[in-house]
Structure 1
């Protein structure tokens, strides 16, 4: 891709490309052995900065809501988020580059067997505050009560400590947490597909939004996304289809 000079300026008001990285979703970003951010979203940020021919600055957060806020308030130039209509008020999203499944976790002895059993008045559901599944379930659940953990990696801990009925989150995160605590099980079907995309503040204009969209489509078509998933040994996430 060869972005228009005006688009490059739109992405770099400080002279660098500031990429908002959310460590609350370990499928896309985490810390490596040295403590530095690493993962699929970091790889894509580096590739996009290289395509623009600019220096990259990583702005790291521990929760999706903080990462979204940084881009929405022009404290970062791009970010990596689940597509959501509420976030779309301030952020121009690309098409998704990765698809991730959202699942429910319960105790082995729970009478909850199916997704439709969750939305009942006596059920409390732990979610990561401001996460994609928090936003989705806030709209979709009419009877169950949502209990928000500070970050997605703390959902299962909140579920256990508060003796809640259900934990909701990214399948791989729930599976990893469940291995640390006996007597837990995932329900058999996903409750949503999380569409992970890149985003830029809408204030940066149409040219910037189109350039980012073009980059994501090229990243999928060239194998960049699939190679990043393989390199970081990510299981359970798939490359999104071409737009």
Structure 2
């Protein structure tokens, strides 16, 4: 276990832990419209982390994981709650996963596509956010369908709504919420991806990386994180 002073230099250099969260991932963090309080696993663990270290906490909201990554070199955050993706390992160190979210496809009610297995056929166009971890997994799996890259998850949904594609890839919970608010769409059966979610720090933060690994293992063994 690193010395506390060494750890705080990396994890709270301003005296406050600045934790980046992805507000587009409803499975991980939500804003209570009445109280204005952030809830969900990411927010809960950020609060527990600050309590463990006896530090103040500032949860910084981003519109997407791509926005968090784009801000990585701007000294805006100290820890980030993002997907643990091997392609990001050259820039970040990841804790063990604190939860896993699934990804699936959204289609129109009139679509003949019923399950994940039906989507990967010739002629099917799948819209998916360019920088999403699930898109990278999707690209490794697809053999027949065509993946159309969009700037963010919302753009993928817009493409489906405007009939520019046959299916939109996204996190299952976010797709389900879209269906609740937009009649005429449904989520197909099954999932094509399971995306582990972790706490990331810059590769240079070796003390923070060691601490967060132990912290998440203890947190998860106590059964504290929940979906």
Q: Verify same fold: TM over 0.5.
A: yes
1:192 match: 193
1:95 partner SS: coil
Quote how far apart the aligned CAs of 1:175 are: 1.6
Separation (CA, whole Å) in 1 of partners of 2:2 and 2:91: 25
Q: Is the 8 A contact 1:106 1:184 kept in 2?
A: yes
Q: Which structure 1 residue ranges, 5 or more long, are not aligned?
A: 230-243
Q: Hey, what does 1:235 align to over in structure 2? A: none
Judge which range, 20-29 or 65-74, deviates more: 65-74
Native 8 Å contact 2:138 2:192 kept in 1: no
Q: 24-33 or 132-141, which moves further after superposition?
A: 132-141
1:18 aligns to 2:10 (yes or no): no
The match for 1:94 is 95
CA distance in 1: counterparts of 2:3 and 2:148, whole angstroms: 43
Equivalent in the alignment of 2:223:
223
Deviations 1:98-141 (A, max 9, x none): 11111112223323344344334522212234222122223433
Tell me whether 1:208 sits opposite 2:204 in the alignment. no
* Residues 126, 164 of structure 1: 8 Å contact kept: yes
TM-score by length of 1: 0.81
CA distance in structure 2 between the partners assigned to 1:72 and 1:216 by the alignment:
25
Give TM-score, length-normalised by structure 2.
0.87
Q: Deviations for 1:183-240, whole angstroms, at most 9, x for unmatched residues?
A: 43322221011111111111112x21110111111111223213xx4xxxxxxxxxxx
CA distance in 2, matches of 1:96, 1:72: 23
Distance in structure 2 (CA, Å) of the matches to 1:63 and 1:98: 18
Q: Give the superposition deviation at 1:151.
A: 3.5
SS in 2 for 1:125: strand
The residue aligned with 1:52 is 53
**1:76-101: CA deviation from partner (whole Å, max 9, x where unpaired):** 11111111111222110111111111
